[in-house]
Structure 1
């Protein structure tokens, strides 16, 4: 499918992707850092805490309304409202607020994730941070960030040894006990490790600020937009076994193939 899209179609798809991100900004900002945010726990059990807010639902609904008008034949996979089958062979993969825990805590590391995928994975992606007004775009020959300082290209870092690298993840425990051991085996060899980054970590990787993002327990809507942006910027995104990452699970995103191979060998050796 990706090889059958002409330039005009790609341009229109990119236009629609930006419309979706534009619509999600006011829907998310309307509630960000409010004294009270209408929040539910998806677990429904009290075991752990998986929040969803009125802003998550409003942003995804705003996105779906635009897709119904602009791209009615495309499929949709959204975190809050599930799957809508399409007929075009293209699917919009949406996380209206990636990092809802950060969102309700007032931190600016959450983001709106919009990916366009075919049967082989994402072909275009946007990671948008509405509060600081940064939009990271990757795909169709484009890799750039637009923000308060203007527009700049996205280029991942050149190789440096793991001992000089910066590694990001969201949760200190990463996932299961075994997954945590594997992550920390990499992190203890790195110069610097930072936590709580959500999707913004992948944006920083694409921008050449860090070297690795390693996570587990991801869903397709968590990774497809970041994957498109990182790969467009020159990075590599795979599963922990080196295979495709677009369906989620255990994911490693790296600035280049050398540090990816170095970290992957450690993950697989634990």
Structure 2
């Protein structure tokens, strides 16, 4: 949960960061951009857009909060022993980005003493932003703005489930995911960070993934929790460091998903 003792209004600065990141990344979107691969034995793409967006965010944070730490996907860990640490994925969904699909987003999170304080997902091409502090969550977009609220979902049979791709799951994890997928009303793939925001917005009930980094999920936790949802690992513990993650809009369907994943 967000730090209950921290009353700073972070939203204006987060919007400023999102403005800068969008201005840096958008000129590369739907262009013939060069793609580098970060992995030798797999495809883990990174583009100049990722790097430019992170540089823009880092610059503003270091100028405004020089005593804060920074953990970014592209340029590493400069968190030191700082109490406040920014956790940033400049483009979550780089594969979607290089394919021209507008379901990528910039994830900007802030944690204090390893607890989420505020998070935002910004999609500059569409012009949408989802943000929250663990107690409340909000949205701004081309058709207006307002609060975010998850929707009721009593059981898996009523649920819409998302994962980025079923190829994430191997072996026993694939079996576990299959047990949940076999019970839901609707299962869809793709969307990366967008699926989590759709949970916060009350359009999707469940997201299950594995192999996440802290950059992929930390910023989304206070958004979903602020909208009334639940985010944990597969065992019901903290998801702040990534790994195997379950996000749900309703605690009841979250509990059922954890049981199925465990084979119960």
What TM-score comes out, normalization by structure 2 length? Answer: 0.95
1: CA distance, partners of 2:86 / 2:167: 30
Name the structure 1 match of 2:88. Answer: 94
**1:212 matched residue in structure 2:** 206
Alignment of 1:122-137 (within 5 A): 122-137=116-131
Which of 217, 227, 232 is the equivalent residue of 2:226?
A: 232
CA deviations over 1:23-42 (Å, ceiling 9, x no partner):
011111110011x1121000
Distance 2:93 2:255 in 1: 28
Q: Distance in 1 between matches of 2:189 and 2:143?
A: 26
Separation in structure 2 between the aligned mates of residue 99 and residue 224 of structure 1, nearest angstrom: 15
Q: What's the counterpart of residue 245 of structure 1?
A: 239
1:1-270 equivalences in 2 (<5 Å): 2-5=3-6, 7=7, 10-11=8-9, 13-34=10-31, 36-43=32-39, 45=40, 47-85=41-79, 88-139=82-133, 141-269=135-263
Q: Cα deviations across residues 160-179 of structure 1 (Å, max 9, x unaligned)?
A: 32112100000122232221
Paired residue secondary structure (2:151): coil
Distance in 1, Cα, partners of 2:143 & 2:154: 28
CA displacement, residues 165-217 of structure 1 (integer Å, 9 cap, x when unaligned): 10000012223222122112101110111101100000000000010000000
Find runs of 4+ consecutive structure 1 residues off by over 3 angstroms.
Answer: none
Gaps of 5+ in 2: none
Note the residue ranges of structure 1 that are not aligned, 5 or more in a row. none
Deviation at 1:229, TM superposition (A): 0.6
How many positions carry a matched residue from both structures? 263
Q: CA RMSD in A?
A: 1.5
Q: Residues 102-156 of structure 1, C-alpha deviation per residue, up to 9 Å, x if partnerless?
A: 1000111110000011223312100111111000011164311100111021000
Query: Scaled by the length of structure 1, what TM-score is found?
Result: 0.93
Q: Following the alignment from structure 2 to structure 1, what is the Cα–Cα distance between the partners of residues 207 and 4? A: 29
CA distance in 2, matches of 1:228, 1:175: 26
